[in-house]
Amino acid sequence: MSQLNLIGTTLGRFEIISELGRGGMAVVYKARQSDLDRIVAIKILPPEMTHDTNYVARFRHEARSAARLEHPHIMPVYEVGEIDGLHYIAMKYIQGRTLKDLVQEDGALSVRRAAEILSQIGDALDHAHRQGIIHRDIKPSNIMITDEGWGYLTDFGLARGTDGATSGLTMAGTVMGTPEYMSPEQAQGLASVGPPTDIYALGVVLYELLTDTFPFHAETPMAMLAARLLQAPIPPRDVRGDLPPAVEDVVMRSLARKPEARFASAAEMVSALRVAAGIGAAPQAQPPLTPVGGVPAIGETMVVTPSLTPPYVRPQVPTPPLQAYVGPTQAVLQRGTPALGLPPPPSLPATPTPQLAPGARPKIGLFIGMGVAALVLVIAVVGVLAFVGRPPVDPGPPVVSAPIDSALTKLLQQGDKNLIDGNIDRAFDLYQQVLNTSPDNTAALSGVAIIDNMRADWQKAEESANTLVNASSSVDTNKAAALGLALLADAISSQGRAAEAADPIKQALSLDSGLALAHAINSNMMAIQALSANDTAGMDKALREADKAVDSRPDETLPIQALTYHAIGFTFAQDYRLSRSKDSLAEGKADYQKAIELQPNLPLFHTNLGYLLNSADDYGEARAAFQRALDLDDTNEAAHNGMAWSLVNSGKYPDAEKEFSRAIELAPDYANAHYGLGLTLEYLNRKDEARAAYTKALELDPLYTDAQTALDRIGK
């Protein structure tokens, strides 16, 4: 191919900005479509190939094949045409990297991560098959992964119909495709290739994701084709010994030489993989936004020019002193124990991303803040963790209680059902009806404690958890006591009293070492401490503790699963904040989304997702998450504060002022909201008002160094 270079030129309505990549028959550029004022990717056939009618026909065939497939995981095609003798395809612009680049840069993936990617691409592939289209060139370089973990299947240049129709682009006996990924029947040039051909290629992709190598080794492309006809694939456990045998069986079945022996669909293959690995249903990544005029493409930086002289620096929050824990005295576990206020969370320094060994489980961690500024609310909103990777179980009552009469049993069953369905107010009322008759009923007390935690009402959550622990102790119910102690630790830690929470979580784990929620909350506490100390080794320990939550698979109710997903997402958020790992970002978002999928009506879950998106500078999506939280509860000061910080970082200062003011109205002692308001007013050149807001923040928290710095900057 000639060195076609159109950068800086205009092709019709397309202003060519930069080159994204080039392959055997085309160059892909990033461009701005002037009439619609949007960023696109434009694929251009070089001039020397326009004389080959077969290339031109295949190029147009790619556009037609993709354009007829409307699916969220298939790269959208906007238009196809010819300008000044150059044939082009205009497509959605995606900020990310190919799956091939991901494996080359990150090494072998965890089974869970591989399954998440394949579930998306497999769904797209099954859709194409249902529409009568066979891709015939499935490989990692034809799969795009956005920075948020959203996958796109691309390049339908070799696609053909299930009836064998390819518009005359290939003939029987012609071998088309990429040798490393071709099925045996495709390697023979058979005309009868069908969906099993793509399933085979997807199996090779899975093999590569898990091992960072191929199932066949050969020196030449022809030898590679011959190998799959004459040899058995190298078992993946020969390359990566930590893979479960059942996972290897899934890979080997997908690579069966006979098409009928493979999985019937990609969905069946991914489902078998998840069952083999015991990792449950797939969390959903978030689709990226389409860049338009005035909005940067995903992953790019939006530069906001403030109207102030001093540079904008995202506020950092000082680490509050830890209070000594007085020990597991009865005073700590008595119902009605008063909770302290809500001190700000620790500051979050960043460190380089640790490198993972090939085959190691990637660290999955996300932080809940909008840069360091948003960290402010982390502890106050955090609360619950997330269980990643266990299949849903039939929900039962939260905890088995002592025998009760049929009327109470019916009330408990109704409460449990409403809790599972997300009707937590109704569930709370039903549990209270049980407690009116039976005050020490541990099943009802468990339901109340879970709901208080879900509501992020940490003082009530602490009280109800204490009550559950005391009632459980009186009837020697270790499981209920462990749950109560875990929720107690979460409530205490979420109020900024991390040291005081250490003993309850230790007791919870000693009573029930298989309680995933307890492991997740423990990892949450460890991650906060590691983050405040800039301690990557400590963060690794926190992630290993989160792994225990994944590995210990007790039968848990769906509400507890949701809390566990959410909490692990928070632990993973801390790792993202520390390491800036894209894997951590993707995993954390997936965990929050899974929690939301299980309990969609909890403002806490949407709010914490918003803070994570803020920390990733994805302010548009963050505002959408905060708005969902506010739609559920407009009195949620944490969501108003998070929304305000997102607006500040986007340069929308008048709107940010309104949101900070609303947060302060709801929580007058909210030091971070006062600080954010001060920063916003400073940007609006209202220095006297800004000075007053900074002063108030410092009064509420004398250790708030950013507020002090701001006062020094503008003068007292």
Task: Give percent helix, percent strand, percent coil of the chain, each to the nearest 5.
Answer: 55, 10, 40
Tokens of 86: 């150059």
Tokens of 673: 């909201």
Assess whether 212 carries a catalytic annotation.
no
Q: Which of 137, 490, 575, 618 is catalytic?
A: 137
Strand partners, 83: 86
How far is the C-alpha of 225 from the C-alpha of 239, rounded, in Å?
A: 21
Q: Please choose, from the candidates 600, 509, 623, 523, the residue with its C-alpha nearest in 3D space to the C-alpha of residue 567.
A: 523
How far is the C-alpha of 111 from the C-alpha of 276, rounded, in Å?
A: 10
Q: How far is CA 74 from CA 33, 94, 99, 188, 575, in A?
A: 21, 12, 14, 28, 31
Q: Please choose, from the candidates 199, 184, 296, 172, the residue with its C-alpha nearest in 3D space to the C-alpha of residue 229.
A: 184
Q: What is the DSSP string of 587-633?
A: HHHHHHHHHHHHSTT-HHHHHHHHHHHHHTT-HHHHHHHHHHHHHH-
For the chain, the residue count is 716
How far is the C-alpha of 60 from the C-alpha of 156, rounded, in Å?
A: 10
How far is the C-alpha of 261 from the C-alpha of 269, rounded, in Å?
A: 12
How far is the C-alpha of 195 from the C-alpha of 192, rounded, in Å?
A: 10
Tokens of 588: 């954390």
User: Are the C-beta atoms of residues 666 and 635 closer than 8 Å to each other?
Assistant: yes
How far is the C-alpha of 350 from the C-alpha of 615, rounded, in Å?
A: 12
Amino acid at 15: E
Neighbours of 423 (CB within 10 A): 15
How far is the C-alpha of 516 from the C-alpha of 552, rounded, in Å?
A: 6
User: Are the C-beta atoms of residues 494 and 380 closer than 8 Å to each other?
Assistant: yes
Neighbours of 106 (CB within 10 A): 18
133-134 vs 77-83, strand pairing mode: unpaired
How far is the C-alpha of 462 from the C-alpha of 573, rounded, in Å?
A: 24
Amino acid at 88: Y
Residues 120, 542, 639, CA angle at the centre, nearest 5°? 65
Tokens of 37: 């004022």
Q: How many helices (DSSP H) and strands (DSSP E) are in the chain?
A: 28, 11
User: Are the C-beta atoms of residues 622 and 642 closer than 8 Å to each other?
Assistant: yes
Neighbours of 220 (CB within 10 A): 9
Amino acid at 329: T
Q: What is the DSSP string of 104-116?
A: HHH-SPPHHHHHH
User: Are the C-beta atoms of residues 478 and 510 closer than 8 Å to each other?
Assistant: no
SS (H, E, C) 314-355: CCCCCCCCCCCCCCCCCCCCCCCCCCCCCCCCCCCCCCCCCC
How far is the C-alpha of 154 from the C-alpha of 20, rounded, in Å?
A: 14
Q: Under 8 Å CB-to-CB from 153, ≥6 apart: which residues?
A: 73, 74, 75, 121, 124, 125, 128, 135, 138, 142, 143
Specify the 3-state DSSP secondary structure of 33: strand
Active site residues: 137
